[in-house]
A and B are shown apart, each in its own frame.
Chain A
Amino acid sequence: MSVKRKGKSKVTIFPDWCKGCGICAAFCPSKVMELSEQGKAVVVREEECVHCGFCELHCPDFAIMVQPKEDKEEINPKLSTNKSLDNKEQSSSATESSSGTSSSQVKEDN
């Protein structure tokens, strides 16, 4: 079950909202996140994510978003509605909330 779901999720962390409490990194079953030297959570092993949603539901600062990957659209028909909702949400929150929170993406540092 969980093996099938690996590698199908995109994990986004908004560094401006993250306070570095470490709950996501400590309880993630696949150890997708780690705390960086700046004390913020960063995604290091996104392909291991099993889409359990623990981090998103337990982040006290709403700084994590776990979405299905866009190129899996044919697998999950619900995604097309998701995407339109995301775009709408992002554009509205980008204009209203502090800049950079909703559109910033954490890239892997290799």
Chain B
Amino acid sequence: MNEIQGTQLIHKYLRHNKKFPHVFCPGCGHGIVLGSLVRSIDALGLAKDDVCIVAGIGCSGRLAVYVDFNTVHTTHGRALTFATGIKMARPEMNVIVVMGDGDSMAIGGNHLIHAARRNIGVTALILNNNIYGMTGGQCSPTTPSGSFSMTSPYGQMEQSFDCVELCRAAKANYVARGSVFHVNELDKMVTEAISNPGFGVVEIMTPCFTQFGRKNKYKSPVEMFNYLKKNVISQERYNDLSESDRDGKIPSGVFVKKSEPGIEEKYYAMARQVQEGI
């Protein structure tokens, strides 16, 4: 019988002086992401002091509070800028950025595409719940057209961002998409993203029942998980579908995987070169 790497392992990495159970609503996927992140770090055998978690603002920003690594809780949309500074100063550190969809693609959209362009060696986990959860359910850049939110009571008229296409176009080294229902695949993606050089992005589809589900006719968190189970499919299956069948389906898997050196490696190599030249 296999040993399940779950609750027992997570207790090693939690800050037990914080108030538990954590702040997330019942049925929120953020707790599952937290578990996945901890399992990935444990699988890679990283020491607690070699990991730095940078979190933005919002529900996902609370993730950094609960884990016993070096953590920074930063300003709204600027998590990637803090992480860039940390990585340039301490290139040996594994810097992991945890952001929400609003944090990374609305106020921090420019930081995301330029971090991908620079190929800075941090890993960005984008927890995409299609809504601004903590601030009261406003529509976010990833709210699907036609769905309801606090600020779009008659349906969202704008188109939504596709995070994977955005990061792929901005030349990120590693781009993947997973969901909190498919945890084992998610563990693999996060592990791979942390160990891959250069900028890595993992977009994680996570349900928000309190703000998104109740306004969009989901009766319970379980229904939202069933939606993920049915609609998040591998990209191979997605490519085989006809155009009409693709409606509502979400392709998942690893979309881009390159091993080009990150900017911090290039920078320190150039610094050595210049110093030796003098």
What is A's interface to B at a CB cutoff of 8 Å? 5, 8-9, 16-23, 26-27, 51, 53, 56-68, 76, 78, 82, 85-86, 89, 92-93, 96-98, 101-102
Contacts and interface: CB of A to CB of B under 8 A. Distances in A.
Q: How large is the interface on B (under 10, 10 to 19, 20 to 34, 35 or more residues)?
A: 35 or more
A64 B7 CA distance: 7
B35 to A, nearest CB: 7
- Among B20, B22, B225, the most chain A Cβ lie within 10 Å of the Cβ of B20
Given A9-B1, A60-B27, 11 more contacts: A19-B25, A51-B4, A53-B6, A57-B6, A57-B183, A59-B31, A60-B26, A60-B29, A60-B32, A61-B24, A98-B19
Given A17-B21, A22-B220, A93-B16, A61 B31 contact: yes
B222 A98 contact: no
B221 interface: yes
B218 to A, nearest CB: 13
Nearest to B32: A60
The binding surface of chain B is classed by DSSP as loop
Contacts of A26: 222, 225
Given A60-B24, A61-B21, A86 B8 contact: yes
Contacts of A65: 6-8
A97 B16 CA distance: 5
Contact of A96 (B16, B19, B25, B225): B16
Contacts of A63: 7, 21
Nearest to B184: A57
Contacts of B35: 57, 60, 62
Interface string B163-188: 00000000000000000110110000
B225 A27 contact: yes
Contacts of B32: 57-60
A19 B26 contact: yes
Contacts of A93: 11, 16
Contacts, number: 104
B6 A56 contact: yes
A93 to B, nearest CB: 5
B22 to A, nearest CB: 7
B72 to A, nearest CB: 23
Nearest to A60: B31
Contacts of B26: 19-21, 60
B8 A85 contact: yes
B276 interface: no
B87 interface: no
B7 A59 contact: yes
A21 B22 contact: no
- Among A23, A27, A102, the most chain B Cβ lie within 10 Å of the Cβ of A23
B18 to A, nearest CB: 9
- Among A21, A89, A98, the most chain B Cβ lie within 10 Å of the Cβ of A21
B7 to A, nearest CB: 5
A16 B21 contact: yes
Nearest to A101: B20
A98 B183 CA distance: 28
